[in-house]
Structure 1
């Protein structure tokens, strides 16, 4: 059955160590780009896409995350220890409900179409257990990565340079329950899904900037200004 909207997991628990002094007293998702926090930018994408429910995880300076989201109707998954993306998503599943979910990192800025809606339009549950949103290195700002995945002609993904994962996806999270570790990356689940031929990707046509380091703030603001020009 085709779904146009999904629950959304916003990843907001990390320490943001690459941001250096900027995250000494505030979590990375609350760093501002063009007058709004990164978390606000990400939440806005989810709200515009009709995501429900929306869940954010919180750990480092987590009370600030909770305060920033107060009144937004976002459920909080509190992590006593950092669980990484895979462990964090598994811990949040009782709040997200059953079935596929959108997940979105809160440290990127986007221009162009809504990335979550772009994923929903391409989602095919008959073939896919995960659909990752990608950009080619030449289209990515704020990173020098050569890419995380190779994209086949049929849309299937394999490991290797070629396309950068943007931090947005649709994922069937059922396989998380079979992973023994408490703290683990979603890469563990992706590798299992890829082995079954059900890991897919699509290329995002708009702008994307990784705001993982201090210099990414100015790059993201310049990208937004170009988009508004």
Structure 2
């Protein structure tokens, strides 16, 4: 199934980056000479996604300037940041109702296009969301035992196993069930888990978490084909 829209999350404060985000938002930190968000955008364009929406809050003016004179739509969350769920729900007039991709902008990839993999595996009517997850051995720069367990049918539940990479296809209908204005997509996933509608797909390549300063060098080494 062809997915026509993507929401790129770029509103966060990037506190794990410390001094690197004192004067600029995390998505504009460079890896290999290019902004993190441009690495994500390369994958979006290669997958042929036509409607691209970016949310912004912290240092929003820099995000707006970065995409000036482009086909990317920037939506600013103000006065308060809305978290992933609230931010996506507020952007639905721009993205359309879905299903759509959502993508974090603090990672780089070495392997097949993650959006293509998700689109090929998506089963509308059966899945409420399809998360792309990495086995811990392929999750560079990420500590921990994982976020989700996956059964033989691909259904996901909470627990050690696979690491969520920040990319998914999501049906947006359950966003309306959450009463809070600002909320995490974790609330939507929990509702899907209760209904057996949350699914996950393992990523066969390598994924590098660049949400912390040490991830920059690891990502650059990975992209250059060096051992990490």
> Would you call these one fold, judging by a TM-score over 0.5?
yes
For each residue in 1:198-229, what CA deviation from the matched residue of structure 2 results, as whole angstroms up to 9, or x when unmatched? 100100111100001101000000000118xx
Which runs of structure 2 are paired with 1:1-229 in the superposition (5 Å)?
3-80=1-78, 81-226=80-225
Q: Segments of 4+ in structure 1 off by > 4 A?
A: none
TM-score (norm 2): 0.97
Report the Cα offset of residue 4 of structure 1: 2.1
Partners of 2:3 and 2:99 within 8 A in 1: no
Partners of 1:5 and 1:49 within 8 A in 2: no
Counterparts of 1:99 and 1:212, CA distance in 2: 27
Counterparts of 2:6 and 2:44, CA distance in 1: 7
For each residue in 1:28-70, what CA deviation from the matched residue of structure 2 results, as whole angstroms up to 9, or x when unmatched? 0000000100011111111111112100000000010011112
Counterparts of 1:128 and 1:167, CA distance in 2: 17
Counterparts of 1:48 and 1:178, CA distance in 2: 33
SS of equivalent to 1:127: coil
TM-score (norm 1): 0.96
Counterparts of 1:220 and 1:113, CA distance in 2: 16
Q: How many residues align?
A: 225
Question: Which runs of 5 or more residues in structure 2 are unaligned?
Answer: none
CA RMSD of aligned residues (A): 0.9
Counterparts of 2:84 and 2:206, CA distance in 1: 24
